[in-house]
Amino acid sequence: MMPSLFVSHGSPTLLIEEDSPGRKFLSNLGNHLEKPTAILSISAHWMTKTPKVTSNQQPKTIHDFYGFPPALYEKSYDAEGAPDLAQDVATLVGADLDDSWGLDHGTWVPLSFAYPDADIPVIQLSIQPEQDAQHHYDMGKKLESLREKGVLIMASGGVTHNLRDIVRFDNDPDQWALDYENWYVECLKNNDHDSLLKADTLAPHFTHAHPSDEHWLPLYVALGATRNSATLLHRGFEHKNLSMATARFD
C-alpha cells in the first residue's frame, strides 16, 4: 500500500542549489519508497474553480515562475501521463479531464530529484482555493483506493509560504515561521487531523505563514487519503522562512 505525501517544494532554485538540505532530502526520497505504478500530484500551482485532472499522454513541463536564472527554464521533466488513471480520478472526485495543463513546478521540481529518470507516469489534480480544508480532505478520502493500486499521492505545497518575508540564502528562520512549523510537527506526532483541519484558527501566525492558502490546501488531500499514521520525513528552512518540512501518511 502506497503512502501519501505532503512535500514542501521550496523554491525553483533548488534545481541549481547543490548545497541545499532540501535538495539533498528530495534526492533520497524515492529510495525510501516502493516504486509507484503512477504518481498523482496535487500541486499548489494549479488552481481551478472546480476539480480538474490532466489527461494528456505527454504532459508538457510548465515553467510557471519568473525572474530566475535562465538555466531553470531549460529544465524539463519528460514523464508520460496516464489517461486511464486520469479517468479513474475524474470518476472518483467528479473532476473534469483537462488536456491543456501539464506538470507545473510544484510537481516537476520535487520529482526531478525524487525520480530523476522520469520513468513513472504522472498526472495532476487541481486545488480549489475558493473551497475550504474540508473540501480538500474529502477529496483525499475519495482517492484512498488508488493507493492499493500502487499510486503515490503526492501533495505539493509548503508548510510556510510568505514570499514577502523570505531572504535568499539565509537559513535562520524568524520566530513566527519556527512557531508555525513546530505546531505542524506536533500535530503530526499526534496524527491530529482535527487540529490540522482548523489550522486557520488554531495554528500560530496562520495568516503570516499563509497570506493566501494555496500552498497549504494540498496537505488536506494527502491527509484525507490515509489517516492511520503520520511521519515527519524532513524539516528545516531555506531562504529564511520557507519551510521544507515533508511528511508521509500511512
Q: Tell me how far apart the alpha carbons of residues 72 and 197 are, in angstroms, rounded to a whole number.
A: 35
Q: How many domains does the chain fold into? A: 1
For residue 27, what pLDDT is reported? Answer: 98
For residue 171, what pLDDT is reported? Answer: 83
For residue 160, what pLDDT is reported? Answer: 98
For residue 172, what pLDDT is reported? Answer: 93
For residue 107, what pLDDT is reported? Answer: 98
Domain limits for position 148: 4-249
Q: Is 115 exposed, middle or buried (0-12, 13-18, 19+ CB in 10 A)?
A: buried
**DSSP conformation class of 61:** B
For residue 218, what pLDDT is reported? Answer: 98
CB 75 within 8 A of CB 68: no
For residue 169, what pLDDT is reported? Answer: 87
Q: Tell me how far apart the alpha carbons of residues 250 and 247 are, in angstroms, rounded to a whole number.
A: 10
What is the per-residue pLDDT across 103-162, written as a single tens digit (0 to 9) for each?
A: 999 999 999 999 999 999 999 999 999 999 999 999 999 999 999 999 999 999 999 999
For residue 248, what pLDDT is reported? Answer: 98
For residue 3, what pLDDT is reported? Answer: 98
Q: What is the 3-state secondary structure (H, E, C) of 102-128?
A: CECHHHHHHHHHHCCCCCCCEEEEEEC
CATH number, domain containing residue 48: 3.40.830.10
Extract the residue ranges of the chain whose pLDDT is less than 50: none
The Cα-based distances of 45 to 62, 65, 125, 149, 187 in angstroms read: 10, 10, 10, 26, 25
Residue with cell string 536564472: 69
